Amino acid sequence: MEILLDSANLPAVRRFYDTCPISGLTTNPSILKKEGKIDFFAHMKELQSVLAGGDTFHVQVVGENADDMLREADVLIEKLSADVYIKVPTTESGLKVMKTIVKAGHNVTATAVYSAFQAFLAAEVGVKYIAPYFNRMQNLGMRADEEIFAMASAIDQTETKIVAASFKRIQQVIDAIQAGAEAVTIPTDILETQFANQTVNNAVSAFLQDWQSVQGAKNIYEL
Ligand code: G3P
């Protein structure tokens, strides 16, 4: 399993890279919008500096046609790294872009995936990851876990991995993993919600109170 952060917020990325088993970052224009009017490449390089060797960094192109997306991919590879994962929407022109980037030996993450057929097409092109949008599928009345299961089965004979995305709730992440996603990219507020869980925190407080009622304020290393 791989856990990635779907975020471009540097403090949150640094925080959870420090505390959690994170192995990569994904961004898109909507995620970047939350950071305001940033210097795009400076910000990308700062995010990249948080990653450890072997982690994956996924950056989305925004061009409205294949030529523009390909020019953007070239610049991302030149300015960030030859190993960057170029996120490309899984449209007809996006597939054309994916074919060219894969042929050149670079990494592609096929994004905006809502169906097993899209997943199948992108996997046959040879992309490294496909990113199905869990919450957005549910918002459309689709059974997102069943779709991911179908995607996993459709791309079973390929090297492509599913990095499930678009999560609003913890249970959605678990459902995606159980349905066959090899990786998940999660917004940092999902982790904040987990660590603010009062039931867990109450259990820890009760242990501390029991300890202190017998041993006083000393820690184990002070005994
Ligand atoms: O990585 C794609 C994901 O960021 C989409 O998430 O929350 O905009 O549906 P959301």
Domain co-membership, 29 together with 92: yes
Residue 161: inside a domain? yes
Domain co-membership, 73 together with 104: yes
Residue 167: inside a domain? yes
| pLDDT value of position 126 | 98
Residue 106, CB-side half-sphere exposure with 13 Å CA sphere: 28
Residue 191: inside a domain? no
Alpha-carbon distance of 108 to 87, in angstroms, equals 6
Say how many Å lie between the CA of residue 103 and the centre of ligand 1: 27
Say how many Å lie between the CA of residue 179 and the centre of ligand 1: 18
- Residue identifier of the C-alpha nearest atom 7 of ligand 1: 166
* Assigned token pair, 169: 């709730």
Domain co-membership, 157 together with 201: no
One pLDDT digit (tens) per residue for the chain, 223 residues: 999 999 999 999 999 999 999 999 999 999 999 999 999 999 999 999 999 999 999 999 999 999 999 999 999 999 999 999 999 999 999 999 999 999 999 999 999 999 999 999 999 999 999 999 999 999 999 999 999 999 999 999 999 999 999 999 999 999 999 999 999 999 999 999 999 999 999 999 999 999 999 999 999 999 9
Domain co-membership, 111 together with 53: yes
Cβ–Cβ < 8 Å for 151, 142: no
- Cite the DSSP H helix spans in 64-197: 66-79, 92-103, 116-125, 134-139, 144-154, 170-179, 188-195
Instruction: Tell which phi-psi region holds residue 107, choosing left (phi > 0), alpha (psi between -120 and 50) or beta.
Output: beta
Establish whether residue 60 lines the binding site of ligand 1, counting it when its CB lies within 6 angstroms of any ligand atom: no
CATH number of the domain within which 6 lies: 3.20.20.70
Establish whether residue 188 lines the binding site of ligand 1, counting it when its CB lies within 6 angstroms of any ligand atom: no
The label of the residue with tokens 């407080």 reads: 205
Three-state SS at 84: coil
CA distances from residue 154 to 117, 148, 174, 182, 204 in whole angstroms, order as listed = 8, 10, 21, 14, 44
Domain co-membership, 134 together with 209: no
Say how many Å lie between the CA of residue 147 and the centre of ligand 1: 17
CA distances from residue 31 to 8, 28, 59 in whole angstroms, order as listed = 6, 5, 11
Alpha-carbon distance of 42 to 28, in angstroms, equals 16
The label of the residue with tokens 């678990």 reads: 174
| pLDDT value of position 194 | 96
First vs last Cα of the chain: how many Å apart?
A: 40
| pLDDT value of position 101 | 98
Cβ–Cβ < 8 Å for 26, 3: no
Task: Show Cβ contacts of residue 1 under 8 Å, excluding neighbours closer than 6 positions.
Answer: 177, 182, 183, 184
The range of the structural domain enclosing residue 221 comes to 197-223
Domain co-membership, 180 together with 206: no
Alpha-carbon distance of 175 to 2, in angstroms, equals 15
| pLDDT value of position 40 | 97
Q: Which atom of ligand 1 lies closest to the CA of 30?
A: 8
Residue 159: inside a domain? yes
Establish whether residue 160 lines the binding site of ligand 1, counting it when its CB lies within 6 angstroms of any ligand atom: no
87 as an active site residue: the answer is yes
pTM for this entry: 0.95
Cβ–Cβ < 8 Å for 103, 81: no
| pLDDT value of position 172 | 98
Alpha-carbon distance of 151 to 133, in angstroms, equals 12
- Residue identifier of the C-alpha nearest atom 1 of ligand 1: 165
